C-alpha cells in the first residue's frame, strides 16, 4: 500500500521536537479532523492538516438523486445552520427554473436563515469562550440555540438536520405557535446576548487570550479565498447578502460589521455584531410580513412544488403532479447555474449543471469551511499550541461542511 500521509519521522536522537497528533477525535477540535503538529516546547514548528474523516461523497450521491432528494444531503454540510444550506439549494434550483418567489416566502426564509445564523454564531462564539476557560458563557447562551431549534421544530418538525422548506417555498405555513416562539426569542435573546457581551467583551482574561492572536491581513485572507466572518474580521466588507442579494435581502436595512486586524478578538466581535444585525433583520421581516397577503407560503409552480398529500388523494391534477415530481418526469432547463448564499461561515456556493435528466449532471458545493480551513496549518506555525486551539474554535470549522 502506498501511503503518502504526512508522517514526521524524527531520526535525529538529539532532536527535541515532539510530534503531536491533534485529532481526529480530540475534544478540542470540535469535529473530526486531524492535525499532525511538530512542537518545540509549546510552540508549533510545523503542522499538516488531514481531513476527510467524514467524507460522504455528497457530490457523487447528488448525481443520482432528483432535486428534492438533495435537500437532506445539504442538511449535513454545515449542520449547525442547516436551514441556510437547505434554502441555498432551493434557491439554486429556483434560479435554474426561473421561479419568481412571492415576497412573503422570501421574508419567511429570511427569518429562518437569520435564526440559523444566530444559532451558528452562538456555537462559535460560546466555544471560543469555552476554549479560553469561560464555561459559564457557553452554557448560558447555548440555551438560546435550543430555543431556535424549537422554532425550527414548530416550522418543519425537525431540529438539527431540518430539511426545511421545499423547492418553491415551504411545505406549510408558519403556525401561531411558531410566531409566538419567534416573538419570545426576540424578546429574551437580546438581554442574554448583552449579558454574554458584558461577561466577555471587556474581560481582561478573554482579551489577553484573543487580542493579537492569529492576526490575518486582508491580503492574506483574500489570497486564501476566505469568506464570511473571518474575512470581514480582517476588514473586507464582503457579504453575499449585500453584494449578491438573494431572497429579498435588498429590502432590509442592516450593517455589515468589519474588524481591523483579523485576530480572534475581532472575529468574536464581528460574529457578535452579526447576531445583533440578525435580530434586527428578523424584526424588520416580521413587520414586513404584516403588509403581505396572509397564507402564501409557496410559489405557484405545481410542476415542481409537491402538492399536499390530502389533495393528492382527492384531486386529479395534484395526483398527476405528485407522480411526475416523484418520478422525476418534469424537464428542467439544460443549463448551468452558480448560486451563493451567505452561510454561517461564509460564501456557500452551489454549482449545478443540469442536462435535462432526472438528476443533476454535476453538483458542486463551494463549502466555506473547506476553503477557510486550509490556512490553519500555515498560520499555526510559530503559534503556541493553546492559541492554535482557540484559533481553530474561532474559525468555526464544521466537519460536515469541511468534508462534504
The CA–CA distances, whole Å, from 100 to 65, 71, 83, 95, 373 equal 24, 20, 20, 9, 36
What's the CA gap between 167 and 73, in Å, rounded? 14
In this structure, what C-alpha cell is assigned to residue 18?
515532539
Contact between residue 344 and residue 121 where contact means Cβ atoms under 8 Å apart = yes
Min. distance of Cβ 181 from another protein in angstroms? 36
Kindly tell me which of 207 and 337 has the beta carbon lying closer to another protein.
337
Distance CA 377, CA 35 (A): 8
The minimum distance between CB 22 and another protein, in angstroms, equals 18
In this structure, are strands 335-342 and 34-40 parallel, antiparallel, or unpaired?
unpaired
Minimal distance, residue 65 CB to another protein, in Å: 8
CB of 359 to another protein, least distance (A): 8
Measured from the CB atom, the residue of 130 and 345 that comes closer to another protein is 345
| Residue among 311 and 381 whose Cβ is closer to another protein | 381
Whose cell is 434550483? That residue is 93
List residues near another protein by CB under 8 A. Answer: 1-5, 51-52, 55, 57, 59-61, 63-64, 95, 222-226, 236, 238, 243-244, 327-329, 335-338, 340, 347, 349, 351, 353, 356-358, 361-362, 364, 366, 370-371, 373-375, 403-404
Q: Which is nearer to another protein, 313 or 361 (CB)?
A: 361
Is the link from the previous residue into 111 a cis peptide, with omega within 30 of 0? no
DSSP result, 121-160: HHHHHHHHHHHTT-HHHHHHHHHHHHHHHHHHHHHHS-SS
**Grid coordinates representing 388?**
492554535
* 3-state class (DSSP) for residue 336: strand
CB neighbour list of residue 368: distance below 8 Å, 6 or more residues apart: 227, 228, 343, 345, 346, 347, 348, 401
DSSP string, 175-228: -HHHHHHHHHHHHHHHHHHHHHHHHHTT-HHHHHHHTTSS---HHHHHHTT--H
Q: Which of residues 308 and 356 has its CB atom nearest to another protein in the complex? A: 356
At residue 45's C-alpha, the angle toward residues 40 and 48, to 5°, is 125
Which is closer to another protein, CB of 62 or CB of 270? 62
- The CA distances from residue 15 to 18, 19, 223, 384, 390, in Å, are 9, 11, 35, 19, 28
Report, in Å, the least distance between residue 280 CB and another protein.
24
The answer to whether 123 and 117 have CB atoms below 8 angstroms apart is no
Min dist. Cβ of residue 224 to another protein (A)? 4
- Smallest gap, in angstroms, from Cβ of residue 347 to another protein? 7
Residue whose C-alpha is closest to residue 213's, from 127, 106, 307, 128 = 128
C-alpha cell at 127: 466555544
Contact between residue 241 and residue 342 where contact means Cβ atoms under 8 Å apart: yes
C-alpha 148: how far from its chain's center?
A: 15
Task: Give the DSSP letter string of 340-364.
Answer: EEE-SSSEEEEEEEE-SSSS-SEEE
Residue closer to another protein by CB (options 330, 384) is: 330
What is the nearest approach in angstroms of another protein to the Cβ of residue 95? Answer: 6
Distance of closest approach, residue 216 Cβ to another protein, in angstroms: 12
Residue 298 CB, nearest distance to another protein (Å)?
Answer: 22
Q: Give the residue with the Cβ less far from another protein, 222 or 384.
A: 222
Nearest distance in Å: CB 191, another protein: 36
Amino acid at each position: 500500500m502506498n501511503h503518502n500521509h504526512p508522517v514526521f519521522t524524527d531520526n535525529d536522537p538529539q532532536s527535541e521536537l515532539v510530534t503531536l497528533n491533534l485529532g481526529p477525535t480530540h475534544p478540542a477540535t470540535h469535529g473530526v479532523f486531524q492535525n499532525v503538529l511538530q512542537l518545540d516546547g509549546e510552540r508549533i514548528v510545523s503542522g499538516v492538516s488531514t481531513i476527510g474523516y467524514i467524507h460522504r461523497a455528497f457530490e457523487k450521491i447528488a448525481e443520482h438523486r432528483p432535486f428534492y432528494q438533495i435537500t437532506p444531503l445539504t442538511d449535513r454540510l454545515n449542520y449547525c445552520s442547516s436551514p441556510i444550506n437547505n434554502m441555498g439549494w432551493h434557491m439554486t434550483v429556483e434560479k435554474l427554473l426561473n421561479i419568481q418567489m412571492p415576497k412573503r416566502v422570501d421574508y419567511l426564509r429570511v427569518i429562518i436563515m437569520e435564526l440559523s445564523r444566530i444559532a451558528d454564531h452562538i456555537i462559535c462564539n460560546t466555544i471560543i469562550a469555552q476554549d479560553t476557560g469561560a464555561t459559564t458563557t457557553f452554557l448560558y447562551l447555548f440555551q438560546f440555540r435550543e430555543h431556535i431549534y424549537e422554532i425550527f421544530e414548530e416550522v418543519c418538525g425537525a431540529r438539527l438536520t431540518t430539511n426545511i422548506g421545499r423547492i418553491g417555498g415551504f411545505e406549510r405555513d408558519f403556525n401561531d405557535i411558531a410566531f409566538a416562539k419567534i416573538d419570545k426569542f426576540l424578546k429574551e435573546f437580546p438581554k442574554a446576548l448583552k449579558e454574554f457581551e458584558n461577561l466577555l467583551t471587556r474581560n481582561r482574561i478573554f482579551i489577553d487570550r484573543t487580542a493579537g492572536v492569529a492576526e490575518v491581513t486582508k491580503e492574506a485572507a483574500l489570497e486564501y479565498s476566505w469568506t464570511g466572518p473571518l474575512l470581514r474580521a480582517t476588514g473586507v466588507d464582503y457579504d453575499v447578502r449585500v453584494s449578491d442579494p438573494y431572497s429579498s435581502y435588498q429590502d432590509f436595512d442592516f450593517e455589515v460589521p468589519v474588524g481591523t486586524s483579523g485576530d480572534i478578538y475581532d472575529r468574536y466581535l464581528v460574529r457578535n455584531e452579526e447576531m445583533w444585525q440578525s435580530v434586527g433583520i428578523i424584526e424588520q421581516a416580521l413587520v414586513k410580513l404584516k403588509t403581505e397577503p396572509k397564507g402564501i407560503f409557496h410559489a405557484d409552480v405545481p410542476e415542481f412544488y409537491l402538492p399536499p398529500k390530502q389533495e393528492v388523494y382527492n384531486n386529479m391534477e395534484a395526483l398527476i403532479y405528485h407522480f411526475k415530481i416523484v418520478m422525476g418526469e418534469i424537464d428542467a432547463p439544460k443549463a448551468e447555474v452558480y448560486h451563493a448564499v451567505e452561510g454561517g461561515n461564509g460564501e456557500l456556493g452551489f454549482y449545478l449543471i443540469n442536462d435535462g435528466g432526472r438528476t443533476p449532471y454535476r453538483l458542486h458545493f463551494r463549502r466555506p469551511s473547506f476553503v477557510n480551513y486550509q490556512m490553519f496549518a500555515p498560520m499555526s506555525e510559530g503559534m503556541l499550541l493553546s492559541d492554535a486551539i482557540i484559533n481553530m474554535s474561532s474559525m468555526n470549522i464544521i466537519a460536515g461542511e469541511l468534508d462534504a
